[in-house]
Amino acid sequence: MRSTFARLILLLLVAGGVTLAGQQAQPPGPVTNQDLIDGLKADGSSWLTFGGNYANHRYSPLTQITPENVSKLQPVWTFQTGTLGNFETTTLVRDNVLYATGPQNVAWAVDARSGRQIWRYRRELPDNLTACCGLVNRGFAALGDRLFMTTLDAHLLALDMKTGNVVWDATLGDYQTGYASTLAPLVVKDKVIVGVAGGEYGIRGFIDAYDARTGKQAWRFYTIPGPGEPGFNSWAGESWKIGGTGVWVTGAYDAEQNAIFFGTGNPGPDYHSGSREGDNLYSCSLVVLDADTGKLKWHYQFTPHDVHDYDSTEVPILADLTINGQPRKTVMFANRNGFYYTLDRVTGRVIVAKPFVQTTWAKAVDAQGRPMLEAGHTPDEKGERTCPDLTGGTNFWPPSYDPRSRLFFVNAREACATFYGYKPEYVAGQRFTGGAQQLVQNRDEKPFGALRALDPATGERKWEFLMPTPSRSGILTTASNLLFSGDGDGNLLALDSRTGKLLWRYQMGSTLHGTSPVTYMLDGRQHLLVPAGTTLTAWTLPDTAAASTR
Amino acid sequence: MRTTLGGLVVAIVSVTGILLGAQSEPPAVNPLAGNADAIQTGMGLFRSRCADCHGMDARGVRGPDLTQVWASGRSDAGLFRTLRRGVAGTEMPSVGPRTPDDEVWKILAYLKTIAAPTTSDVEVGNASNGERVFRAQCAGCHTVNGTGGRLGPDLSRIGSARARGAIVRRVRGATEDFLEGYQPVIITLKNGQTVRGVRKNGDLFSVQIMDGRERIQGYLKSDVREVADGKASAMPVFGTERLNESDLNDLLAYLSTLKGFDPSVR
């Protein structure tokens, strides 16, 4: 810039904000803690956390797309990853850019207007990974001008949001001894909180917090207590050292209590009861930790001494409800074991515990909230039939909560299996499950799916949408009474969230496997963004009431 | 010329083998046969990876009975290749590139402990009369080595895929279950006409079939009156009045010779 005059003009332009058709006057600054607390704002400009807000509602305030016009949605563009494997991500949105993590720890920043890549991150992964269930990743977290992502070789990365370059790289555990990490991190204040996977590989699970700026470890909470700690006696002998209990789905944060809520995984070996007598704390539990220190505030164990691989790694949802005329602060949890729970999120007391699918291993809980086991459901060499199967009544795919209608929505599975168990030998880095299941599927009986709306105050089912193949899709709801999800055969669905009536569908060619759509405003128009298989597709209405600035 | 071509083939196979993480030529005999640790691990692998289709006892559920594989003449090396590569044109997948060779050998070491060492199938019957019976009674719906009908499954490798008892049960009419891709379906069109066929695929909104005239076609459920699951298999029941015991034995002798085109079936 030669002349002072020219510099002055430039300064004025920048200060005044250069307005191009359809763009905001001022770009947003770095992501702040307040942004994360605010959740999904009315202007629809961002999606900054795994669950939409810290309570994991996945509920958008946007109303431009309605039950009346949703059938007019049109595709805007499709992005393809060019990478083997499927999305399991929740896409973040900020300043008209989409941030998605994909299979094999590849990740992208994509222009929301055109679907064109802005940057791509790719990681050199070692050969002998111990990821049980696909080379997947469930999403970024964001703070400042950084994104955070876990990796299949058990690392936590901070990436520069503008370039995808690695800012810091922290090691969570040794991937060769069974550790991996696949969840979307949770940012709370100045810390990035993550867990590890490996329940089928004899790990000792934990939740870790890292300083967002430096990558230094701030605290660790072992999901299996050590010698002398409370709960240590719930593991016979040395079984605590290789007891699994991973944490591989993102939790919730309650700012009022400064507490984080995480579901924990199955104890290992998965099916062989005799290898680990005792309740096996804190496997198959909800653990509530102080966000600053990682200390345990309280826990509730959904499935003591689980022998059916019923990981409680489902997404907890926080909500304030009115129950029996009283206001209650609750956490809502649809569990893999087939039960739906509403718990008091301050005391941990059970308010509702009721099956939402067919269950045979237990049909009710007692006054203390402990499941009352039915006889004959311990896997052995002969095999025993149990419902639900190991994939469960539901699993890692996110549910949603509509705070106006006060309905909880979950993709449920009705499936049964014959479970076998036998004593396994532990070898570091090898599968350590002690059994297997055989799914019941024949001409007379086979698994099916149902997207169910539950009243969280009672656990009663309000409506269901049946599907011939069970779905693994997450759910998005909106303030205009819309529900977006996918079925088990690749159909993207829009339902009326009040009734479950089908309003619109599109065959994506791949299921929404563990992903859910997100929605945001872009240039005055509400968009739906759908990850499915190896694609991202953006949808919008052909013309809208809210005129754009073009 | 022949040497150069042979050399090229070996080179390609070797490179492919390296890329697949496999040896280019597996050992003829399972290096882990009889190894107690391998059998124990192999049991776990078999139960979690194979049993869903082949049954916990390997006697077959959706996939074939495996207890006769050695008795029917398969070799360790051939079975290794089948697991490494899968079986083209069937639902049998490859174990995948991330499964090391020794895991494949462990599965086979375990399977050997629950399989029959020699065949319990008694071979009786005249295979060439059996081929005549096949052409007359079966080839209308079943293809063998490129010839025959398409409504039923291709039987070119039925001699490897099914033990004698399973074939007899199907022929005599005791269909426990419908094979994937061969479930009977009846579509009633808006004009009242029915289309009968076998279901290839479908979802909440559509169904894809092959009809009795071997036409493949998809139907949107919103464009038809009804789509119903058929109760009876499209395959007729061949009772003794239709196929006597002598002809059945001859037919089975013929079918047991059908081992398909797969070169690893050795």
Q: Can you give the pLDDT at residue B233?
A: 87
Residues of B in contact with A418 (CB under 8 A): 56
Sketch the domain layout of chain B as residue ranges. 2-114, 127-177+236-255, 183-229
> CB neighbours (10 Å) of residue A373?
14
- List of chain A residues whose C-beta atoms are within 8 Å of the C-beta of residue B222: none
Packing angle, helices B101-114 and B76-85, rounded to 10 = 120
A78: enclosing H helix or E strand: strand A74-80
For B215-243, write each residue's pLDDT tens digit.
Answer: 999 999 999 999 999 988 889 899 999 99
Residue with tokens 């190896």: A534
Q: How far apart are CA A380 and CA B103, in angstroms?
A: 24
> What are the C-alpha distances in Å from A172 to residues A12, A206, B51?
48, 9, 35
Q: Is B149 an 8 Å CB contact of chain A?
A: no
For residue A423, give the DSSP letter: P
* Residue % of chain B over a pLDDT of 70: 84
Chain A: residue nearest B178 by CA?
Answer: A443
**Do B177 and A434 count as a contact with CB atoms less than 8 A apart?**
no
Tokens of A58: 């996945």
A134–chain B Cβ distance below 8 A for any pair: no
- Whether the per-residue pLDDT at A454 is higher than 90: the answer is yes
Residue identified by tokens 């081992």 is: B259
Active-site annotation holds for A95: no
Examine residue B27 and say whether the peptide bond preceding it is cis (omega within 30 degrees of 0): no
The reply to whether residue A505 touches residue B41, judged by beta carbons under 8 angstroms, is no
B197 CA to centre of own chain:
21
**CATH architecture assigned to B2-114:** Orthogonal Bundle (1.10)
Which residues are A486's β-sheet partners? A492
Measured in angstroms, the CA of B180 and the nearest CA of chain A are apart by 11
| Confidence at residue B255, expressed as pLDDT on a 0 to 100 scale | 94
Say what the alpha-carbon torsion angle B74, B79, B82, B84 is, to the nearest 10 degrees: -170
A507 touches chain B (CB under 8 A): yes
Rounded CA-CA distance A529/A516 in Å is 9
Q: Considering only CA atoms, which of A72, A94, A91, A101 is closest in space to residue A522?
A: A94
Q: Which fold has domain B183-229?
A: SH3 type barrels. (2.30.30)
pLDDT for B253 beyond 90: yes
**Topology agreement, domain B2-114 and domain B183-229:** no
Q: Does B15 have pLDDT greater than 50?
A: no
Contact A7, A1 (CB under 8 A): yes
Return left, alpha or beta for B145; rule: phi > 0 is left, psi -120 to 50 is alpha, else beta: left
- Partner residue opposite A443 with nearest CB, options B55, B177, B202: B177
The sign one gets for the Cα dihedral A224, A230, A235, A240 is positive
Q: Please give the average per-residue pLDDT across B127-149, as a whole number.
A: 94
CA distance B104 to chain A (A): 14
Nearest-neighbour CA in chain B from A24: distance (Å): 42
Dihedral-angle region of residue A509 (phi above 0 means left; psi in -120 to 50 means alpha; beta otherwise)? left
Tell me if residue A313 falls in helix, strand or coil. coil
Say if residue B9 is exposed, middle or buried (CB neighbours under 10 Å; 0-12, 13-18, 19+). Answer: exposed
Nearest alpha carbon to residue A419 among A460, A453, A446, A387 = A387
Q: What angle do CA B39, B44, B48 make, to 5 degrees?
A: 140
Which pLDDT tens digit goes with each residue over A19-46? Answer: 444 445 578 899 999 999 999 999 999 9
User: Of the spans A86-90, A128-132, B54-58, which averages the highest pLDDT?
Assistant: A86-90
What is the CATH topology of the domain spanning B127-177+236-255? Cytochrome Bc1 Complex; Chain D, domain 2 (1.10.760)
Q: Give strand pairing partners of A119.
A: A109
Residues of B in contact with A431 (CB under 8 A): 44-45, 48
Is B123 a residue whose pLDDT tops 70? no
> Under an 8 A CB cutoff, do B204 and A487 touch?
yes
Among the options A153, A270, A279, A309, which is catalytic? A309
Higher-scoring residue by pLDDT: B75, A505: A505
Sequence spans of domains, chain A: 24-540
What's the pLDDT score for residue A509? 96
**Predicted-complex ipTM score:** 0.83
User: In which residue are the tokens 């004899």 written?
Assistant: A202
Mean of pLDDT values over A328-355: 98
Residue B136's pLDDT band (boundaries 50, 70, 90)?
very high
Predicted pLDDT at B25: 79
Distances (CA, A) of A262 to A247, A252, A254, A298, A338: 8, 7, 12, 11, 18
Predicted local confidence at residue A3, as pLDDT? 62
Q: What is the per-residue pLDDT for A430?
A: 82
Query: Stretch B129-137: mean pLDDT, rounded?
Result: 96
In terms of CATH, what superfamily is A24-540? Quinoprotein alcohol dehydrogenase-like superfamily (2.140.10.10)
Q: What is the DSSP string of chain B?
A: -HHHHHHHHHHHHHHHHHHTTS-SS--SS-TTTT-HHHHHHHHHHHHHHTHHHH-TTSS-SSSPP-TTTTTTT--HHHHHHHHHH--TTSS-----TTS-HHHHHHHHHHHHHHS-SS------S-HHHHHHHHHHHTTTT-EETTEE-SSS---TTHHHHS-HHHHHHHHHT---SPPTT-EEEEEEETTS-EEEEEEEEE-SSEEEEEETT--EEEEEGGGEEEEEE-SS-SSPP--TTTS-HHHHHHHHHHHTT---S-TT--
Residue A21's pLDDT is what? Answer: 44
Interface test with A, best of B18, B39, B41, B47 (most A CBs within 10 A): B47
Tens of pLDDT along B189-223?
999 999 999 999 999 999 999 999 999 999 999 99
| CA separation, residue B254 to residues A349, A463, B71, B156, B172 (Å) | 69, 56, 17, 11, 17
CA distance A386 to chain B (A): 16
- pLDDT reported for residue A548: 40
Q: pLDDT class for B260, splitting at 50, 70, 90?
A: confident
Chains A, B: CB pairs < 8 Å: 52
> B 35-74 residues with CB below 8 A of A?
37, 40-41, 43-45, 47-48, 51-52, 55-56, 61
> Which of A128, A418, A443, A505 would you mutate first to test chain B, the one with the most B CBs within 10 A?
A443
In three-state secondary structure terms, A79 is strand
Rank A199-203, A530-534, B8-12 by mean pLDDT and report only the highest: A530-534
Whole-number Å distance between alpha carbons of B30 and A465: 51
Closest residue in A to B232 (Cα) is A443
pLDDT above 80 (res A18):
no
Q: Which among A436, A442, A505 has the least Cβ separation from residue B51?
A: A436
Assess whether pLDDT exceeds 80 at residue B176: no
- Judged by a CB distance cut-off of 8 A, whether residue B20 touches chain A is no
* A424 at B interface, C-beta within 8 A: yes
CA-nearest of A26, A30, A23, A7 to A15 is A26
User: Tell me, what's the pLDDT at A8?
Assistant: 62
Give Cα A264 distance to the centre of its chain. Answer: 13
**pLDDT score for B201:** 96
Percent of chain B's residues with pLDDT above 90: 49
> Per mean pLDDT, which range of A218-222, A399-403, A473-477, B54-58 is the poorest?
B54-58
